[in-house]
A and B are shown apart, each in its own frame.
Chain A
């Protein structure tokens, strides 16, 4: 069957006059026409690409704030004496107010503008319909709407930043967020931005749920779907069910600030812990909105590049749904030091449950490598890096889920290190693996493999130097969100800051690789990695309507033992001997 596809791809490459057969990236006319076309497009691929660039820009912005935070923490504050011999305390570089704005903006941008939309809305949008063999998502216009809602929400947040910023932390804990001076209306602005961004997330989630249910190609059963689709599906369910609670929470917060109702503000009879429950009822599931799609990417990276059916496919698929379900009942573990002991105990027990599906995934990925045919390229390197960093992130969660050790580690740098190992070492590392995996498909260009691998290595080293030290800062007693610290902690902080520069170097290498690829990259073949899922059955970049004909599914996404990948030279992907008659493949 691959030969017939080869023929159509050649015909396409040779120039086709039917405009439906041209690449989705081909400009429609002059510059203004093209811009208008992109702005009004309902093509999931273009919307995905716009999300990708927007979220990478947010990543850059959040990264700059992170670097400034690390820079300030390179050394503790030095107090100088005035003429009268009294100490004047200033920041080492920035004053504490500015520092507090930096870490708040770093958190808010990374969470709301980068990690939450980056994988589902960017890679999910691009890949989901292609992987299902569909022409588009179920509701293309709703898809464009959620993109514009994202833009409006992002503008609100950026305006709040530009006009002075917010110093409440991304969690907006009350009463601090209510207590800051009146002129800090930016807090209201920022929370409204978060409120608006929530709708974008809900619409995208709804769209994906319906797409997965209704638009699968003929023959593509639920258990024939790539695991990335399962992960996006589970994520979409959380997005639809949890995000409204965030909307309610920030709306109440804004109302409380403006009308002084007395919901969260203790001076008006409100309860600040109620706010924490509201906030984490969304924000804990949101952690899985961030990591589940990353886990989905991991299954693709490990499966395709080791040419093995992902071990325990069904367990991996169901663990995504399991994580989605359990994610709703563990929010209280963010409040072990502020809530009732009985509630804390219940949440601790529930929290341990969520570790199981995550552990199943990691072990299954490692088992997938067994007897594979592993190719070392950038996506695979990122896959291996993920195994390393995410395992650390997951295992260190045990210290925090255990009640008595959390009493010590809560709100310390240990927590900072832990969630960076999960969010950055998990979600962001997976995202960059996924970008490299689907880059040839998205843009039709290959990238410089050695340069990209160098970038990956620098990111991996820089990441571990930056954040591994922070576990020890935490256990030694360094609280989070400190603009300065006692001198004991100086050495570890300095190592961490140096790590952040290595990390920066890694991402700069990637940036250069991406630009080089777009400007002068080699033309990508339709199936550079020998993948079997449906997105590799169309041209790179895909034609406007994705497929010439509705694809028919003949093999599973990971049946590497039995199927020659489309558009590939069978010599590059030799198959094992056929099974003796009568014996069934596993």
Chain B
């Protein structure tokens, strides 16, 4: 009974079928109307064809079942006009599907002039959006995977409502695919070329990431493919500009910036900060420690060693770990490398002792607005 009431409530709210098909997150872009209309058109077309076909099959099967001793009736074994009809009929319907699908497809491929360009960097296993003022997000949520904030940290990005955004996308390793189901749009992200997609979000979802839209990676990319996610929150243009300004003017102390970069640059995919072994060495108690390398040499994990490990990771590989890390040359500014080093210092006794005042205090001028020499 409660299930029935529940179902009825759902049906009144948004329609149970609508909810079953399009999920809890409502569509929120300029593509939703035409996509959902075409989807539902094909859906009802399929239901109709399926019911007619299966109805006929069921009716014939029951009506003409074998009765002992009764011979079957003679009937035609072909009928050219009928056969032509059911060959050409579907062809006409499909011509319409093609044309409508093509129209939507071309709309999705051609961004309106004046779209705001946002750069997307994809890597195993994180998304990073870089806005036109150089801003990147500093907002994260842990609610996506696991209960009550215990899951992996994923970034939260903002987009404006009612203004077209054109994404210019590049990957630094394998193929990824940028998919926001509520936008009804996705496109693959390649390591050797820019691909673009555009959208115009419609309704603000508010500042709380809990109400934001899912961003998924739709092209298989390895171990953490399923958690290469993000949250897109749609803000009204005014709030969006404010958010972008805030993110652009990063006055946080380097140690905090480093903690953000740890997530946005996907360091957390391979390096833990709690001592857990992973693909790469943990950062806990790393700074200041003696390292033994696979080539037999040794060294101390100081600032220069960390910088070298980020930019030329293959030069010295710590004993017991695979040579798997890609170089971050060109993907981090010097300021960002310094922030990461500062963050790593906070994770060890020796490091905390070595922290300089500059590393722990906020700066007034914007450093985050620096343009990274990406693609260099």
Contacts and interface: CB of A to CB of B under 8 A. Distances in A.
B22 A475 contact: yes
Given A76-B145, A173-B220, A86 B274 contact: yes
Nearest to A359: B90
B150 interface: yes
Interface string A267-309: 1000111000000000000000000000000000000001111
Given A407-B186, A408-B186, A308 B72 contact: yes
Contacts of A391: 49-50, 53-54
Contact of B64 (A306, A309, A352, A477): A306
B200 to A, nearest CB: 15
Interface string B92-119: 0011011011111111110000000000
Nearest to B148: A79
A68 to B, nearest CB: 16
Best-buried of A87, A475, A485, A586 by chain B (most CB within 10 Å): A87
A479 B179 CA distance: 9
A84 B274 contact: yes
Interface residues of A, number: 110
B72 A560 contact: yes
B353 interface: no
A162 interface: no
A486 B143 CA distance: 9
B218 A344 contact: no
A482 B64 contact: no
Contacts of B146: 76-79, 87, 89
B300 interface: no
B39 to A, nearest CB: 5
A476 B107 CA distance: 22
Contacts, number: 318
A31 interface: no
B22 to A, nearest CB: 6
A261 interface: no
B259 to A, nearest CB: 12
Given A311-B77, A391-B54, A371 B97 contact: no
Given A79-B145, A370-B64, A480-B220, A86 B87 contact: no
Contacts of B179: 411, 477, 479
A559 to B, nearest CB: 9
A370 B53 CA distance: 12
Nearest to A345: B102
B53 A366 contact: yes
B342 interface: no
B25 interface: yes
A574 interface: yes
A57 interface: no
B152 interface: yes
Nearest to A267: B191
Interface in A519-545: none
Contact of A181 (B69, B151, B224, B324): B324
B186 A411 contact: yes
Contact of A411 (B65, B191, B218): B218
Interface string B198-231: 0000000000000000101111111111110100
B23 interface: yes
B103 A576 contact: no
B190 interface: yes
Interface stretch (B1-9, B55-63, B250-258, B359-367): B55-63
Contacts of B375: none
B21 A472 contact: yes
B64 A373 contact: yes
B181 A408 contact: yes
B60 A272 contact: no
Interface in B311-338: 322-324
B72 A307 contact: yes
Best-buried of A175, A376, A585 by chain B (most CB within 10 Å): A175
A574 B71 contact: yes
Contacts of A164: none
Best-buried of B101, B181, B229, B322 by chain A (most CB within 10 Å): B101
A345 B98 CA distance: 8
B370 interface: no
A341 B106 contact: yes
Nearest to A77: B145
Nearest to B226: A482
B78 interface: yes
Interface stretch (A122-130, A324-332, A395-403, A502-510): A395-403
Contact of A479 (B64, B86, B218): B218
A176 B98 contact: no
Interface stretch (A131-139, A237-245, A312-320, A427-435): A312-320
B126 interface: no
B42 A405 contact: yes
A412 interface: yes
Contacts of B225: 96, 100, 481-483
Contacts of A370: 60, 64, 75
A266 B191 contact: yes
Given A88-B276, A179-B173, A272 B181 contact: no
Given A360-B87, A476-B23, A96 B223 contact: yes
Contacts of A395: 46, 49-50
B342 to A, nearest CB: 19
A313 to B, nearest CB: 7
Nearest to A585: B74
B192 A384 contact: no
B280 to A, nearest CB: 13
B185 interface: yes
Contacts of B34: 404
Contacts of A336: 105
B45 interface: yes
A82 B282 CA distance: 14
B75 A308 contact: yes
B273 interface: yes
Interface in B67-92: 67, 69-79, 83, 86-87, 90-91
Best-buried of B70, B106, B218 by chain A (most CB within 10 Å): B218
A586 B220 contact: no
A163 interface: no
Contact of B217 (A176, A398, A479, A487): A479
B104 A574 contact: no
Interface in A171-199: 173, 175-176, 179-181, 183
B157 interface: no
Given A345-B106, A483-B226, 14 more contacts: A175-B191, A267-B191, A337-B188, A344-B105, A355-B94, A372-B60, A374-B61, A391-B49, A402-B38, A408-B39, A412-B218, A477-B23, A560-B72, A579-B74
Interface of B: 20-25, 31, 34-35, 38-39, 42-43, 45-46, 49-50, 53-54, 56-57, 60-61, 64-67, 69-79, 83, 86-87, 90-91, 94-95, 97-98, 100-109, 142, 144-147, 150-152, 173-175, 177, 179, 181-182, 184-188, 190-192, 195, 214, 216-227, 229, 272-276, 322-324
12 contacts: A77-B146, A86-B272, A87-B142, A312-B78, A312-B83, A373-B66, A373-B71, A375-B65, A387-B57, A408-B186, A482-B226, A576-B73
Interface of A: 76-84, 86-89, 96-97, 100, 167, 169, 173, 175-176, 179-181, 183, 266-267, 271-273, 306-315, 336-338, 341, 344-345, 348-349, 352, 355-356, 359-360, 362-364, 366, 369-376, 384, 387-388, 391-392, 395-396, 398-399, 401-408, 410-412, 472, 475-477, 479-488, 558, 560-561, 571, 574-577, 579, 585-586
10 closest A-B pairs by CB: A404-B104, A477-B181, A476-B23, A266-B192, A79-B146, A402-B101, A403-B105, A482-B226, A373-B72, A369-B60
